[in-house]
Chain A
Amino acid sequence: AQSVAQPEDQVNVAEGNPLTVKCTYSVSGNPYLFWYVQYPNRGLQFLLKYITGDNLVKGSYGFEAEFNKSQTSFHLKKPSALVSDSALYFCAVRDRGSTLGRLYFGRGTQLTVWP
């Protein structure tokens, strides 16, 4: 079975400080991993994905994520947070062996960046 855990419902950080949003996963095989962001009353926006290669993946709006196979983690990071980064963040996974498009999502982490 495939599953994603986002251990923190809420993350608060001051503007200008680095931020981390945590994600751990469980899949039967090797994973494809994704991060999405959702602003109020909007759909999900794709931020970045890990397919293969370098464990550090760079995405939109200055976000990056580090894939750690031994810890089965894919934490989202940004060196300097902005107030406009405040939103709901979702981690998602697919089994590498699957030909299906279904994404398995975590419960989401609400990020609040204080000015």
Chain B
Amino acid sequence: KAGVTQTPRYLIKTRGQQVTLSCSPISGHRSVSWYQQTPGQGLQFLFEYFSETQRNKGNFPGRFSGRQFSNSRSEMNVSTLELGDSALYLCASSPDRGATYEQYFGPGTRLTVT
């Protein structure tokens, strides 16, 4: 099976712009989560989707939003970019919801805001 894919892999944006990141989960996986990784804050949870519904949301401002499509693919959007949004954004999928399942991570999208 192909792994989790994320596009684009690298992105450079200017402060104030918006950006959309895409994630395709492993085939058959219905749960998708997003995390932000920075050197200062480590891995921080953004949101979790299952069957097109957001089930959980982390402590991020409303500029961060996401959605999941019927084929389980997911997108996240960041509006009005700030310098502090520069980070590695990781998408992870798992077969189903439930605490016993491990998550499988994509390679990430490296976002740089200038």
Contacts and interface: CB of A to CB of B under 8 A. Distances in A.
A36 B103 CA distance: 10
A87 interface: no
B98 A99 contact: yes
Given A44-B105, A101-B50, A105-B43, 19 more contacts: A34-B102, A36-B105, A41-B107, A42-B107, A43-B6, A43-B105, A44-B90, A44-B92, A46-B102, A46-B104, A46-B105, A49-B100, A49-B102, A98-B99, A100-B48, A101-B55, A105-B35, A105-B42, A108-B43
B33 A102 contact: yes
Contacts of A94: 99
Those 7 A-B pairs whose CB atoms lie nearest each other, nearest first: A43-B105, A105-B43, A44-B105, A94-B99, A43-B107, A107-B42, A46-B102
Contacts, number: 69
Contact of A32 (B6, B35, B99): B99
Interface of A: 32, 34, 36, 41-46, 49, 51, 90, 94-108
Q: Is the interface of A mostly helix, strand, loop or mixed?
A: loop
A49 B104 CA distance: 13
A100 B103 contact: no
Interface residues of B, number: 29
Given A42-B107, A43-B106, A101 B101 contact: yes
- Mostly, the B contact residues are strand
A51 B107 contact: no
A73 B13 CA distance: 41
Contacts of B97: 99-101
Contacts of A46: 102-105
B64 interface: no
A98 B31 CA distance: 15
A104 B99 CA distance: 12
Residue among B48, B97, B102 facing the most chain A CB atoms (10 A cut-off): B102
Contact of B55 (A34, A44, A100): A100
